[in-house]
Amino acid sequence: MKKLISLCAVMPLVVCAQQYDWKLQLDSDLNGELTDAPITTHKMAIETYAHIISGKFSTLATPHTLNGQLEAIQLTQIGSGSTQRIQFIVAEAEKRTYFLGQGTLSNGFKGAWFGANNDSGDFNLITAAQQPSTPLHCAEVLNQDPSAQSGIYSIDPDGGSAENAFNAYCDMTTDEGGWTLIGTFSKSQAGGYPHINQYDSFPDTTLSDPSHTGLYQGTLSHFTDVREQVACTSGGCQSAYQVSATTSELEMIRYTWGYIDQQEKQQQGFALPNCTDAYKSGASYNNCLYANDRNNTNVIGWQRDIHGAKHSCWLAHGVHKPNSLGS
């Protein structure tokens, strides 16, 4: 099953490591490109942990290490853009050389380097072997490694280029595991959004007590199961489920996180999917409603009081408890 979670709202974080074989090419003429002057080429194995990179050179007689960081592309953040940037330091004993460049993880990077004695030049960091494909979702991570623990993993639900990959929280234990967190609402922020495209592009990466409000905006075509988790307390959360949902049904559920979006979809005759109050079992509720309808903008979210006691996401109503779990 390809599962996703949307949460109204800490677990130990385990980051998925991936290893790549790279070649580092350098010259000693800082002019914006590798020139016809002698070019030095080094081979190395680089590991990435989320956006942290480290590596060792395999073609040098003395130990050289590489440590640095890849930019996490988030277009909603000031200063970021569509071209990924990289920075790293190559160390040999007490000597340090600094590198700054841009490009993509899949196609390589180019930039400038600066040494300790006013020496400098240009570099290319290029792949020497095809990199492993990024998992589409957390269920694929779990299928590849049944021992995978809950935590943060790099996934790419859009498929194709790794440029669209992002770090997502994966719940590997609840309800058979393999759930991808796609939506979170900060407990310190009151009020919902009228349209889902007003959320930040990506959710927080903590499961039950998020401080960041965001909603994954990409394709849901690789997912099949959905769980919306609300009314969280120290004793747990109330959830609604659907198994083997179509992409259209998943998109309709996501639209309920915009209080105008869900009204417009309802007026256009799109019925919301039914839900159950337990995974693969439990009572079933038409359109995930207990008694209330959706002809109001006081509540956002898919489930409406199916667990009683108004266990809904009262985000649009502007009520929040900053010292409690969830919103």
244-274 pLDDT, tens digit per residue, is 999 999 999 999 998 889 888 887 888 889 9
Contact 208, 187 (CB under 8 A): no
- 284 pLDDT higher than 90: yes
Contact 92, 44 (CB under 8 A): no
pLDDT at residue 323, as a whole number: 61
Cα R_g (the chain), whole angstroms:
23
* 300 or 232, higher pLDDT: 300
* 109 or 130, higher pLDDT: 109
pLDDT band at 312 (very low <50, low <70, confident <90, very high): low
Percent of the chain residues past pLDDT 70, beyond the cut: 76
pLDDT at residue 90, as a whole number: 93
pLDDT at residue 9, as a whole number: 38
Question: Distance between CA 221 and CA 228 in Å, rounded?
Answer: 18
Mean pLDDT, all residues of the chain: 80
> pLDDT digit string (tens) for 80-120?
666 788 999 999 888 999 999 998 776 788 999 999 888 99
In Å, how far are 93, 151, 154, 220, 319 from 50, measured between CA atoms?
27, 11, 6, 22, 35
> Average of pLDDT values for 161-189?
85
CB atoms within 10 A of CB 111: 18
pLDDT at residue 44, as a whole number: 80
pLDDT at residue 178, as a whole number: 92
pLDDT at residue 324, as a whole number: 58
pLDDT band at 54 (very low <50, low <70, confident <90, very high): confident
Both structure tokens of 199: 């959320």
pLDDT band at 201 (very low <50, low <70, confident <90, very high): confident
In Å, how far are 11, 164, 297, 309 from 301, measured between CA atoms?
24, 26, 11, 16
- 309 pLDDT higher than 70: no
List beta partners, residue 289. Answer: 304
pLDDT at residue 316, as a whole number: 60
Question: Distance between CA 324 and CA 316 in Å, rounded?
Answer: 18
- 43 pLDDT higher than 60: yes
State the residue for tokens 């199916």. 306
- 12 pLDDT higher than 50: no
Both structure tokens of 297: 């903008």
Question: Distance between CA 14 and CA 172 in Å, rounded?
Answer: 11
- In sequence order, what are the residues at sequence separation of 6 or more whose Cβ sits closer than 8 angstroms to the Cβ of residue 267? none
Comparing 7-11, 120-124, 190-194, 231-235, the range with the smallest average pLDDT is: 7-11
Percent of the chain residues past pLDDT 90, beyond the cut: 26
- 32 pLDDT higher than 60: yes
Give the 3-state secondary structure percentages of the chain, helix then strand then coil, rounded to 5: 10, 35, 50
In Å, how far are 70, 82, 153, 250, 326 from 49, measured between CA atoms?
10, 21, 9, 30, 28
10 exposed, middle or buried (CB, 10 Å; 0-12, 13-18, 19+)? Answer: exposed
In Å, how far are 137, 139, 177, 218, 313 from 222, measured between CA atoms?
8, 10, 16, 11, 26
Q: Residues, the chain, total?
A: 327
pLDDT band at 206 (very low <50, low <70, confident <90, very high): confident
